[in-house]
Amino acid sequence: MMRVALIGCGAIGTSMLELLKGDATLAVVAIVVPEVGLAAARKAVADLAPDVEIVTRVPLAGIDLVVEAAGHAAIEEHVLPALKRGTPCIVASVGALSAAGLAEQLERAASEGGTQVQLIAGAIGAIDALAAARAGGLDAVRYTGRKPPHAWTGTPAEQGRDLATLALETVIFEGSAREAASLYPKNANVAATVSLAGLGLDLTRVRLIADPAVTENVHVVEAEGAFGSFELTMRNKALAANPKTSALTVYSAVRAMRNRVAHMAI
């Protein structure tokens, strides 16, 4: 059985625990949260994982895999040290890698520890095709993210407009993936993932839209290159506990974990 330390106990973390409950090959043995969140975390997982250890640091022993689901600060505080110690890590907050130098820090830490950090595909598909196309040469990659107005609450999209009264689709951002992931970190993980698999954060073009006509999170990726071209459209249901996050993000993280212990993986 693979022993897992899960960083974060929010909507993504608790949903992962629900899916992993009773799994005979994976066991979340520690949940890492800030000290101020210890009591809330214990309450949140009381039924899902009553025996799990709630801690403020990744344990130094007894952990085979670290899974991050808590954002930029958690990557710096917990993932980098774990990699340097030689513990493999899975990162869900790919949008955090828009911060200057963070992706390079992860690579260096993994190299120093002789291990690997895996970035999950999250809410988007065709990442394997995009990464393969890069090997032959990519000419252009575009990502469009379309979500209901309420999914953009608490973001720069609220500046100069009332999201609650939008009657028509509204483009709230156009620019590079680096800018998108920086301005909309809880909404634009997909933009960062697409860019890291393809042309990079600065050359991947992104458009974000608030659309009162949709109830799902709609992701469109277009790419052209030596391989030809493709267009992928996904209509993802949001997590019930967090409209900013697609449920597929949780499923992607669980798949990555199960691939670590599967005898055959795809």
Return the active site residues.
219
Whether residue 4 contacts residue 64, with contact meaning beta carbons closer than 8 Å, is answered with: yes
Q: Tell me the angle at which helices 127-136 and 189-197 cross, rounded to the nearest 10 degrees.
A: 30
User: For residue 29, what are the contacts with CB-CB under 8 A and spacing of at least 6?
Assistant: 3, 4, 5, 52, 53, 62, 63
Q: Are strands 217-225 and 228-236 parallel, antiparallel or unpaired?
A: antiparallel
Establish whether 242 is an annotated binding residue. Answer: no
Distance (Å, rounded) from C-alpha 73 to C-alpha 87? Answer: 18
Phi, psi at residue 208, to the nearest 5°? Answer: -115, 135
- What Rg, from alpha-carbon coordinates, does the chain have? 18
Establish whether 189 is an annotated binding residue. Answer: yes
Distance (Å, rounded) from C-alpha 192 to C-alpha 66? Answer: 21
Distance (Å, rounded) from C-alpha 207 to C-alpha 176? Answer: 9
Q: Where are the alpha helices (DSSP H) in the chain?
A: 11-20, 38-44, 72-74, 80-84, 102-113, 127-136, 177-183, 189-197, 247-259
Strand partners, 174: 207
The whole-angstrom distance between residue 1's C-alpha and the CA centroid of its chain comes to: 25
Q: Which segments are annotated as binding site?
A: 123, 189
